[in-house]
Amino acid sequence: MSLSSETAHTIMEACKQRARELRSPVSIAIVDAGGHLVLFERMMVPYGFATGNMAIAKASTAVMFNQSTDSVAQWGAEIPGFAASLASMTDGKFIMAAGGWPVRINNVTIGGVGISGGNAAGRDDDIAQAGLAALGITPEAPRQSTPQTATLAHQPQQVAAATVYSSSDKDKAPYTQALYAQAKGAQPDDDTAPRPGVRSTESSQYNPYSLPSQDYTSEQRPGRENDPDIRL
Distance of CA 198 to the CA centre of its chain: 51
Is the CB of residue 33 less than 8 Å from the CB of residue 2? yes
For the segment 41-54, what is each residue's pLDDT rounded down to a tens digit? 999 877 788 899 99
Higher-pLDDT residue of 191 and 73 is 73
- 37: confidence class by pLDDT, cuts 50, 70, 90: very high
Q: Report how far residue 21's alpha carbon sits from residue 127's, in angstroms, rounded to the nearest whole number.
A: 10
88 residue type, one letter: S
Mean pLDDT of 39-68: 92
Minimum mean pLDDT range among 80-84, 91-95, 108-112, 204-208: 204-208
What's the pLDDT at 163?
45
What's the pLDDT at 156?
47
% of the chain exceeding 90 in pLDDT: 45
How is residue 37 annotated by DSSP? Answer: E
Where are the domains positioned within the chain? Answer: 5-142, 158-214
Helix/strand/coil for 54: helix
What does the mean pLDDT of the chain come to?
A: 75
Q: Report how far residue 5's alpha carbon sits from residue 1's, in angstroms, rounded to the nearest whole number.
A: 13
Q: Which CATH number applies to 5-142: 1.10.260.40, 3.40.50.970, 3.30.450.150, 2.40.50.70?
A: 3.30.450.150
| One-letter-per-residue 3-state SS of 107-156 | CEEEEEEEEECCCCCCHHHHHHHHHHHCCCCCCCCCCCCCCHHHHHHCCC
Helix/strand/coil for 58: helix
For the segment 102-131, what is each residue's pLDDT rounded down to a tens digit? 999 998 999 999 999 998 889 999 999 999
What's the pLDDT at 176?
45
Helix/strand/coil for 176: strand
What's the pLDDT at 40?
97
What's the pLDDT at 62?
96
What is the biggest distance separating any 2 CA atoms in the chain, rounded to whole angstroms? 114
Q: Enumerate the β-bridge partners of residue 176.
A: 163
Q: In terms of DSSP H, where are the helices of the chain?
A: 5-21, 51-65, 69-76, 82-89, 123-133, 148-153, 189-192
Query: Cβ neighbours of residue 218 under 8 Å, at least 6 residues apart?
Result: 224, 225, 227, 230, 232
